[in-house]
Amino acid sequence: MHYEKHIAHRDLKLENILLDKNYNLKIADFGFAIEYTKGVNLKKDGLGTETYIAPEKYIKDSYNPEKTDVFALGIILFSMLYAIPPLCKKAVSSDPLYKLFITNN
């Protein structure tokens, strides 16, 4: 990501990660990307793909764009490692992994 330039993608998902002919990763679809002020949370918008967005975005709470992009990267890595996404549809309190994400225990 371009965090040194204060740009957040806000819709990272497997479908937006491509490989070139030399197998270099390329990130695509910057339709939700924004410039932001470091250390300032963004307004409540809920933008992104349901199965990749962080809980705070899903409930439309204010959020840190860097942290929510990292959350989406975690979902991507989990999906690549286990060949199944950790959250079947969206982050809801009845999902066993949701509690782990929220409470970190």
Tell me, yes or no, if 11 is annotated catalytic.
yes
CB atoms inside a 10 Å sphere around CB 60 = 12
Our CA angle for 55, 58, 60, nearest 5°, is 110
Q: Catalytic one among 11, 20, 61, 95?
A: 11
- Report how far residue 42's alpha carbon sits from residue 53's, in angstroms, rounded to the nearest whole number: 14
Name which of 27, 6, 12, 4 is nearest 69 in CA terms: 12
Q: Catalytic positions, please?
A: 11
